[in-house]
């Protein structure tokens, strides 16, 4: 008995309606990106493994899908490595490539490789799939699409202001009301300094980034396990439970970070973005200063953003931040950048749950020509060609089947009109056209049919 086929966990097939809806989201995002001057690029689905590892922090590196070397790679693993129980020791011997984890690091590699061809600052957008060896759950997949926008070659904080506006514009066009959470890695570095954890900044941010998932007590417990002094974590408790409007949060930070120079610098940057966005105003989003937002990626150095839909419990639907030296890891130091990502799959789930997809995203053919035989189909094909030239989507049924079978096909595909051309219709230069929804049926010339479809 044949084994029923399946797909790997965390991946999905998409039917025509789903694909059309995804294309709708991407078309809105593409319009928003290009409205701010971003240009499209694409990069390979896999990179050399050294390009990706060490860029996403401990948690991120663990989730990178490695690609086994071709050939008899096991024979090249030294005996002392084979006896090592740590799988990471094997990696460089058995895998030399990996599926991309995100689009930002490949973009940094692209900029370094093509720097002599680019006008700086360089603004790009990119919409392609990425892969993460994560535990599948609602809204979280192992294969998913990211839609990114980045600018490199400028350290101006006006870039942060524009990205907040970009989020507001794109999600507003999709009909989503959102909260854009804002923080700054320098603020986090200042907080770490205040609690005596400057040398444990990565451990601090990785644990802090889990606050929404595990709660304050567990975050503090994890920090202590990671070597952060308990007397320092006790100072964090007011911050972890901090609530209030943006002004109150900023006032709290001024006091908390009064002895940290890096913290005060981050607070200054945070204040600039907040004030400028407030002056410009947002149409559909609310900007929220979130002191516990960490986004545990090692390459962020300044502002960090995360977007959540207001009316759906689904986690973040976008995020990003400032990186001052991401290209330095590829031999091009000192090139500051800022970028954001839109989570296509989670945006889809939000629009679906809130019933925000337009009705016309499903692009069924306008008409189906019934197959009445080869001679009749030869004429029908000429009419179909004229209709396609006029901009309409038209199908011709391939087989001379029973009417019911052809009609059921049209109905199942959501086709609006059926067109029948028999000997009598061809002789009179007309076609019998039926509106499947209303049941109305009339004779039309080709010109009249084109006019009908244009109504």
Whether residue 17 is annotated as binding a ligand: the answer is no
Q: How far is it, in rounded angstroms, from Cα 273 to Cα 251?
A: 16
Q: Which residues pair with 40 in a beta bridge?
A: 125
Q: How far is it, in rounded angstroms, from Cα 388 to Cα 330?
A: 50
Judge contact between 179 and 264, C-beta under 8 A: no
Q: Where on the phi/psi map is residue 308: left (φ > 0), alpha (ψ -120 to 50), or beta?
A: beta
Whether residue 454 is annotated as binding a ligand: the answer is no
Q: Which residues pair with 419 in a beta bridge?
A: 369, 433
Whether residue 276 is annotated as binding a ligand: the answer is no
Q: Which residues contact 37 (CB under 8 A, 6 or more apart)?
A: 123
Whether residue 428 is annotated as binding a ligand: the answer is no
Whether residue 300 is annotated as binding a ligand: the answer is yes
Q: What are the structure tokens assigned to 53, written together?
A: 């590892």
Place of tokens 């690609």: 67
Q: Quote the distance between the C-alpha of residue 322 and its chain's center.
A: 18
**3-state SS track over 142-202:** CEEEEEEEEEECCCCCHHHHHHHHHHHHHHHHCCCCEEEEEEEHHHHHHHHHHCCCHHHHH
Judge contact between 206 and 58, C-beta under 8 A: yes
Judge contact between 177 and 311, C-beta under 8 A: yes
Using alpha carbons, list the distances in angstroms from residue 306 to 80, 114, 454: 45, 30, 44
Q: Any idea of the CA torsion for 417, 421, 426, 428, to the nearest 10 degrees? A: -50
Whether residue 103 is annotated as binding a ligand: the answer is yes
Q: Which residues pair with 128 in a beta bridge?
A: 146
Whether residue 132 is annotated as binding a ligand: the answer is yes
Whether residue 140 is annotated as binding a ligand: the answer is no
Whether residue 445 is annotated as binding a ligand: the answer is no
Please report, in range form, the residues annotated as the binding site: 102-104, 132, 146, 150, 295, 299-300
Please report, in range form, the residues annotated as the binding site for L-histidine: 102-104, 132, 146, 150, 295, 299-300
């Amino acid at each position: 008995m044949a084994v029923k086929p399946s797909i790997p966990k965390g991946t999905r097939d998409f039917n025509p309606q789903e694909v059309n809806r995804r294309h709708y989201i991407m078309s809105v995002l593409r319009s928003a990106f290009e409205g701010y001057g971003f240009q499209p690029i694409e990069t390979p689905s896999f990179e050399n493994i050294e390009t990706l590892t060490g860029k996403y922090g401990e948690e991120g590196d663990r989730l990178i899908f490695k690609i086994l070397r071709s050939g008899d790679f096991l024979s090249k693993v030294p005996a002392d490595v084979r006896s090592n129980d740590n799988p990471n020791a094997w990696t460089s011997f058995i895998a030399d490539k990996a599926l991309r984890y995100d689009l930002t690091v490949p973009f940094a590699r692209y900029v370094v490789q093509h720097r002599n061809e680019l006008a700086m600052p360089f603004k790009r957008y990119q919409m392609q799939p990425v892969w993460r060896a994560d535990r599948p759950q609602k809204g979280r997949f192992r294969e998913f699409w990211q839609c990114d926008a980045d600018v490199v070659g400028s350290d101006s904080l006006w870039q942060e202001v524009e990205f907040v506006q970009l989020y507001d514009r794109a999600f507003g066009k999709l009909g989503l009301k959102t909260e854009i959470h804002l923080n700054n890695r320098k603020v986090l570095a200042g907080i770490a300094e205040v609690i005596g954890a400057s040398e444990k900044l990565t451990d601090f941010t990785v644990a802090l980034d889990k606050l929404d998932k595990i709660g304050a007590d567990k975050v503090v417990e994890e920090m202590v396990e990671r070597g952060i002094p308990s007397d320092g974590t006790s100072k964090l408790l007011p911050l972890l439970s901090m609530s209030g409007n943006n002004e109150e949060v900023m006032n709290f930070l001024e006091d908390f970070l009064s002895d940290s120079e890096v913290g005060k610098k981050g607070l200054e940057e945070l204040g600039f973005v907040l004030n400028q966005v407030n002056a410009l105003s947002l149409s559909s989003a609310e900007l929220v200063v979130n002191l516990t937002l960490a986004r545990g990626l090692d390459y962020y150095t300044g502002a960090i953003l995360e977007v959540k839909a207001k009316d759906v419990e689904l986690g973040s639907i976008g995020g990003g931040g400032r990186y001052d030296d991401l290209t330095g890891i590829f031999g091009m130091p000192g090139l500051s950048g800022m970028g954001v990502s839109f989570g296509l799959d989670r945006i889809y789930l939000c629009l679906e749950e809130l019933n925000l997809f337009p009705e016309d995203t499903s692009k069924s053919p306008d008409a189906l020509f019934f197959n009445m035989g080869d001679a009749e189909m030869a004429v029908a094909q000429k009419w179909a060609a004229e209709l396609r030239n006029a901009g309409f989507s038209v199908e011709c049924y391939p087989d001379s089947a029973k009417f019911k079978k052809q009609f059921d096909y049209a109905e199942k595909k959501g086709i609006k009109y059926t067109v029948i051309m028999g000997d009598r219709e061809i002789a009179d230069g007309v076609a019998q056209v039926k509106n499947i929804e209303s049941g109305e049926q009339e004779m039309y010339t080709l010109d009249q049919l084109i006019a009908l479809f244009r109504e």
